[in-house]
Structure 1
Amino acid sequence: MADELKRRLVHSSGAGLVALYLLAEYFELGLTWPRFQLLMVVLAVGTIGLEFLRLRAGLDWALYDKLTRDYEQNQFAGYGYYMVSMTVAVLVFPPEVALPAMLMLAIGDPISGAVSDDSLKFVKGPKVLVTMFVVSAIIAAPFLYETPLAVLAAAVGATVADGIKVRIGDFIVDDNLTIPIYAGLLAYLVLEFAPV
């Protein structure tokens, strides 16, 4: 239980990246969107490098024992998908879409995990789905308040990504990879194509 709490706290720390961008913008510190995109690419490449060293070169820090789950010991870990998906969101979507999509992963996913029964169902229970939807909508609202349909679309995307497991052969797609991408894509489609 203690390790799970640590994982959730580390998961939530990704919100700090959004805060960094927003505070830098507010205080005019020069962290433009292109520079933030570059920072995210550097972080993602660094994360992929760490995973390569862990899986191929035998890098065995004690931290990995605390922050990876048993099934991740011999495969690409969730934190790697986390950084990759956040980076994809930042590279593909504008800030008003990418930033809440990042927060849905950083904050929404650990909250939905806290109310989950941790069973391995392919579709999570109604309590988890409703929690993820409500939290995601609350997160999206300050960024997309001028387009309520985009708020709902982003929340639906995050909820589907979090609540329904996708299986490709023997591989189950990690929701750390899908939450920002689904949320961002649906919100972006509404912003681009829905009637105003």
Structure 2
Amino acid sequence: MADEVARRLVHATGATVPLSHLLAPDLVTWRVVQWFMFVCVVVAVALEYARLFVGLDWAIYDRLTREYEQDNPAGYALYMVGMGLVAAAVGLPGFDTAIAVPAMLMLAIGDPISGLLGSADASAVKQTWVLLAMFGVCTLLAAPFVPPAAAVLGGVAATFADGVKPTVRGFVVDDNFSIPVFSAVAMWVGVTVLANVTAPA
């Protein structure tokens, strides 16, 4: 249980990246966020290559990785890649920080809450009430940034990603990657597509 709490605390530190931009946008511009995440992704990918193919075996991996990650890309690396993709997408048509920030917060804050709530359950499938809590937290995180419909879509996508971990060619697609990416895409749909559909003629 102590290792689980440690993982969740490390997980939550990722919130400092988008929050730093919100609190000091002139100092921590989004370009700074993008470059910071780029560096994090490069370092994480290099460490994972060394761990999986060279044999790097630091003791911290035993504490911060799960059993299924021993032969798969670890969650921390997928965390960096997911956050990095969302950060890099800002500037694409219809995609701005109002989408990127809540998507990153859903991973950094929503996922640890869901993980701690579900850690008492020994089954591989999260209980319905845990998923509902994840949906509520993520929707509330998005509500200050995007319209209500987009916030709900983002919450649904994050909850789906939290509850489902597909395996692609033997590799587990961890929710550390899918939560920010899926929720960002869903909110983008809510902001752009739904806005156009509901706009008066």
Aligned counterpart for 1:111 among listed residues 99, 110, 113:
113
Matched, 1:87 2:84: yes
Unaligned runs of 5+ in 1: none
Evaluate the alpha carbon distance shift between residue 39 and residue 5 of structure 1 in structure 2; reply closer, same or farther with a 3 A threshold: same
**What displacement does 1:23 show?**
2.3
Q: Give the match for residue 120 of structure 1.
A: 124
Matched, 1:188 2:181: no
TM-score for both structures, normalised by structure 2: 0.88
Identity over the aligned pairs, expressed in percent? 47
The runs of at least 4 consecutive aligned structure 1 residues that moved more than 4 Å come to: none
CA distance in 2 between partners of 1:67 and 1:36 (Å): 24
Q: Which amino acid aligns with 1:65?
A: D
TM-score for both structures, normalised by structure 1: 0.90
**What displacement does 1:35 show?**
2.8
- Partner SS for 2:144: helix
Unaligned runs of 5+ in 2: 90-94
Is the Cα contact below 8 Å between 2:48 and 2:73 reproduced in 1? Answer: yes
- Partner SS for 1:136: helix
Q: Give the match for residue 43 of structure 1.
A: 40
Is the Cα contact below 8 Å between 2:17 and 2:33 reproduced in 1? Answer: no
CA distance in 2 between partners of 1:190 and 1:180 (Å): 15
Evaluate the alpha carbon distance shift between residue 162 and residue 139 of structure 1 in structure 2; reply closer, same or farther with a 3 A threshold: same
Is the Cα contact below 8 Å between 1:166 and 1:172 reproduced in 2? Answer: yes
Matched, 1:58 2:62: no
Q: Give the match for residue 69 of structure 1.
A: 66
Q: Give the match for residue 92 of structure 2.
A: none
Q: Give the match for residue 34 of structure 1.
A: 31
Evaluate the alpha carbon distance shift between residue 149 and residue 172 of structure 1 in structure 2; reply closer, same or farther with a 3 A threshold: same
Is the Cα contact below 8 Å between 1:115 and 1:127 reproduced in 2? Answer: no
CA distance in 1 between partners of 2:36 and 2:74 (Å): 21
Evaluate the alpha carbon distance shift between residue 132 and residue 173 of structure 1 in structure 2; reply closer, same or farther with a 3 A threshold: same
**What displacement does 1:118 show?**
4.2
CA RMSD in angstroms comes to: 1.5
Deviations 1:46-92 (A, max 9, x none): 11111112222222222111111122123210111100000111112
Q: Give the match for residue 102 of structure 1.
A: 104
